[in-house]
């Protein structure tokens, strides 16, 4: 009986010690999953904004800055929390194609860790032809 009690006393605090080791690792993993989800949603929001801007800019007779304005308006209305300080540009556009690029930073959970997303949409310009 005394041998069992002696062995039982050596295990005191083992569960608390295992929680002390496992819980920070679990919480770090959970925070990484949340950060990856926020990054993915920001990436998809930037792509949707670029597509919206490209759809506006491809219409025949649209003013030059309409695509970038539409992309930024989409970001501010549909994704205000996922994209911080967004910018849009039409660099790379030509007479037959429109390219709208949206660049923004992603909100981060970990301090000192910066994430950015850049998404582009390339579409042909509408052309009316007579059959």
Q: Over the stretch 22-31, which tens digit does the pLDDT of each residue have?
A: 999 999 999 9
The percent of residues above 70 in pLDDT, for the chain, comes to 91
What is the Cα–Cα distance from 72 to 130, expressed in whole angstroms?
35
Number of Cβ atoms within 10 Å of the Cβ of 89: 16
Structure confidence at residue 4 (pLDDT): 57
Reply yes or no on whether the pLDDT at 71 is more than 60.
yes
Buried/exposed code over 46-69 (b: 16+ C-beta within 10 A; e: otherwise): bbbbbbbbbbbbbeeeeeeeebbe
pTM of the model: 0.81
């Amino acid at each position: 009986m005394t041998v069992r009690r002696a062995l039982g006393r050596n295990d005191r605090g083992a569960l608390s010690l295992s929680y002390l080791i496992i819980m920070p690792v679990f919480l770090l993993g959970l925070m990484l999953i949340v950060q990856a989800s926020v990054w993915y949603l920001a990436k998809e929001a930037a792509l949707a904004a670029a597509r919206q801007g490209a759809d506006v800019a491809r219409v025949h007779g649209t003013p030059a800055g309409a695509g970038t304005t539409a992309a930024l308006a989409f970001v501010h209305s549909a994704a205000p929390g996922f994209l911080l300080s967004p910018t849009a540009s039409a660099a790379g556009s030509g007479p037959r194609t429109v390219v709208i690029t949206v660049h923004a930073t992603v909100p981060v959970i970990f301090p000192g860790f910066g994430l950015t997303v850049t998404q582009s949409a390339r579409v042909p310009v509408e052309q009316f032809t007579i059959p």
